[in-house]
Amino acid sequence: MGDFCSQNTTIITSENYIDSYFTLNGNSCLPNSGTGFSLTGSVPTDTIINTYVSGTLLTALPAQSDLTYSDTLRGLLSSIKNEYCFYYKRYMFVLTQVLTLAATPGTPMGSGSTYDSYKQNAIRINNQLSQILLILQNVSRLSGSSLDIDSVNDNLLDHMRKLQDTDMETNAKSAMIEYTLEKNSSSRNLLAIYGFMNIVAVGMLVYLYRAA
């Protein structure tokens, strides 16, 4: 399967990477007007997700007599996928900015700096993506499909740990050293810091199309 979000061709810039899906679309699979269960990076328990999906998300769906329950679930899955890709594209952009600036000598990194703003937003969007994946998995189970998100979610959690690590900037610089010494191309340098975060695995959602 190709890139899960390849159909989303939105160009992400420093002007629109902080956009809210809820604000632009008027809805979100996440609670609290699309901000999610928590902004602290903690992962909601299965019980919290189950209760939210069955008691809030599904009951909020408009009643359409011409649609079966399965049709409604498929529509919900498609909507959740769109929201995931909305934030995934922005996460890829902001994470690239964070890693590039972290590996650039002389980058101001204090509170209020451009780097700090990117980093805090990377943490926020990472948290939203993790929560969307958990909701997506829960809804896919209700539809009778199997959606394996473990490897993707593990990578997001690993990203979160690294983003919140006080040594993150030092580690990102270390990942660049061998490439800088060899004076390889900038694309190879970016590949080095992407490797540090194992970024490629974030976009893989196995079996989603079976659930849709």
Task: Give tens-digit pLDDT for 1-19.
Answer: 346 677 888 999 999 999 9
Give the pLDDT score at 6: 77
Residue 189 lies in a domain: yes
Q: How many domains does the chain have?
A: 1
Single-letter amino acid code for the residue at 63? A
Residue 8 lies in a domain: no
Residue 185 lies in a domain: yes
Residue 132 lies in a domain: yes
Confidence label for 73 from pLDDT (cuts 50, 70 and 90) = confident
What is the C-alpha separation between 161 and 9, in angstroms, rounded? 29
Give the pLDDT score at 55: 85
Work out the angle at residue 119's Cα, subtended by the Cα atoms of residues 117 and 122, and round it to the nearest 5 degrees: 110
Q: Please choose, from the candidates 130, 133, 177, 138, the residue with its C-alpha nearest in 3D space to the C-alpha of residue 158.
A: 130
Residue 6 lies in a domain: no
Give the pLDDT score at 19: 97
Q: Please choose, from the candidates 90, 88, 95, the residue with its C-alpha nearest in 3D space to the C-alpha of residue 160.
A: 95
Give the pLDDT score at 195: 61
Residue 109 lies in a domain: yes
CA distances from 31 to 67, 80, 131, 166 (A): 25, 13, 10, 30
Task: Work out the average pLDDT over 59-73.
Answer: 67
Find the domain containing 155 and state its range: 28-211
Higher pLDDT, 25 or 64: 25
Residue 23 lies in a domain: no
Higher pLDDT, 59 or 206: 59
Give this prediction's pTM: 0.81
Confidence label for 77 from pLDDT (cuts 50, 70 and 90) = confident
- Res. 160: pLDDT tops 90: no
Give the pLDDT score at 178: 47
